[in-house]
Amino acid sequence: MQRYDKRKYDELRNIKITKDYTKHADGSVLIEFGDTKVICTAMVEEKIPIFLKGQGKGWITSEYRMLPSSTVTRKIRDSSKGKVDGRNMEIQRLIGRTLRSIINLEKLGERTLWVDCDVIQADGGTRTASITGAFVAIMIAVKKLKDAGRIKELPLDHFVAAVSVGVVQGQPLLDLCYEEDSKAEVDMNVVMTETGQYVEIQGTGEARPMSKEELSTLLTYAEKGIMELINLQRKTLMEQ
């Protein structure tokens, strides 16, 4: 099969990370996975949840939303519905879990990092773009803490990124756009560190079960893509 945008089967979309995208956040980026665009911001709050009082460590929490015009048909805001969208809740919990897994909360100190991921344009892979961009945003924020002498060292255990993989017309693919994702027989999201350790794997047989061989290929594609994303994260963070 030929991919919708003529990429190789194991090729990422055009990825771009723009640092310091907003004025007031402690860390911010605009991350683009092809036509998917997400603003990721991190802000430091000098307090922690009650359940962490006296433990000498911090916390990271996240929120994820898709703006009304991010999709072809207008997406209704949660505030208009009077409840949080279940998908949004699932994704923001995934983002929070991921970031807490690779940040040393003791070294962060008794403060909270608030991470917001706002999708301004959706074309597949919004959760994986959000995770990849959110990591860069919090790293910008914690570097400012260190530079200001508020923490002694960067509270980083690992770099982390995420990417989607799937099977379309029997062919395993890396980083699915919406056109591919909507037709996928198998759909997966993989979150991984730079050491090749898995933080989370979400895999579903949408139209049929997947074989062991397909799973192996999808994980190989995901690792390739994630290592490329982490290299881009490093390059972005090194830019002045």
Q: Which residues are annotated as a binding site?
A: 87, 125-127
Listing DSSP states for 70-109 in one string gives GSSSPPPPHHHHTS--HHHHHHHHHHHHHHHHHB-HHHH-
Work out the widest C-alpha separation in the chain, in whole angstroms. Answer: 58
Cα separation values, 17 from 44, 96, 130, 131, 235, Å: 21, 20, 11, 12, 10
Q: Which amino acid is at 64?
A: Y
Structure tokens at 115: 């991470």
Q: Which residues of 23-61 are buried (b: 16+ CB within 10 A; e: fewer)?
A: eebbbbbbbbbbebbbbbbbbbeeebeeeeeeeebbbbb
Listing DSSP states for 105-138 in one string gives HHHH-S-EEEEEEEEEE-SS-HHHHHHHHHHHHH
Q: Which residues are annotated as a binding site for phosphate?
A: 87, 125-127
Task: Yes or no: say if 110 and 56 are a contact pair by the CB < 8 Å rule.
Answer: yes
CA distance 10 to 8: 5
